């Protein structure tokens, strides 16, 4: 995982795709303060992943994230996007590195401090800090 050296501020907003909700697989829950948030399984890595992927909202928009699903042959209908702050990660002892890809210039990798593998035990705490974007925010996203 190679960083570009892109400066990332504590106030930067991060985005992550959330799969469609179904009766078999719950992906969102209500927030105590209104709206919805992602569940911990959405904020976890797969067995073969060492980092959690997300995107810088100032580089990659929510609509770009959803449109990119088509590249994998997936229909973006029903998919959601959650947001959270870089400061949320740091509060949980996590680090973030800008690791752009050909398809996502805003791609970032979330790891444990020191670049160690992302600890899935942080997923629940991070999920509680997320907020699902409303439809109007997909085309007009929040900025720093």
pLDDT of res. 130: 97
Average pLDDT for 5-21: 91
The pairing of beta strand 13-18 with beta strand 28-30: unpaired
pLDDT of res. 5: 61
Please give the mean pLDDT across all residues of the chain. Answer: 91
Task: Give domain limits for the chain.
Answer: 13-136
**2, pLDDT greater than 60:** no
pLDDT digits (tens, 9 = 90+) for 47-91: 888 999 999 999 999 999 999 999 999 999 999 999 999 999 999
pLDDT of res. 44: 93
With bands split at pLDDT 50, 70 and 90, how would you rate the model's confidence at 3? low
Q: Which long-range contacts (CB under 8 A, 24 or more apart) does 99-103 make?
A: 99/1, 99/2, 99/3, 99/4, 100/4, 100/6, 100/59, 103/68, 103/71
pLDDT of res. 143: 63
Q: Of how many residues is the chain composed?
A: 144
CA distance 13 to 29: 21
pTM metric for this prediction: 0.91
Answer yes or no: are the C-beta atoms of 83 and 14 closer than 8 Å.
yes
At which residue do the structure tokens 């907020």 appear?
131
pLDDT of res. 46: 87
With bands split at pLDDT 50, 70 and 90, how would you rate the model's confidence at 118? confident
pLDDT of res. 71: 94
């Amino acid at each position: 995982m190679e960083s570009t050296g892109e400066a990332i501020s504590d106030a930067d907003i991060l985005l992550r795709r959330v799969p469609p909700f179904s009766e078999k697989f719950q992906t969102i829950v209500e927030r105590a303060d209104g709206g919805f948030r992602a569940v911990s399984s959405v904020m976890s890595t797969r067995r073969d992943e060492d980092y959690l992927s997300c995107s810088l909202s100032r580089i990659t928009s929510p609509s770009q994230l959803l449109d990119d699903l088509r590249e994998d042959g997936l229909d973006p209908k029903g998919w959601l996007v959650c947001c959270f702050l870089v400061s949320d990660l740091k509060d949980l002892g996590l680090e973030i590195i800008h690791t752009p890809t050909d398809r996502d210039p805003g791609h970032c990798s979330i790891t444990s401090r020191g670049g160690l593998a992302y600890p899935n035990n942080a997923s629940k705490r991070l999920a509680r800090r997320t907020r699902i974007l409303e439809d109007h925010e997909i085309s007009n996203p929040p900025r720093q």
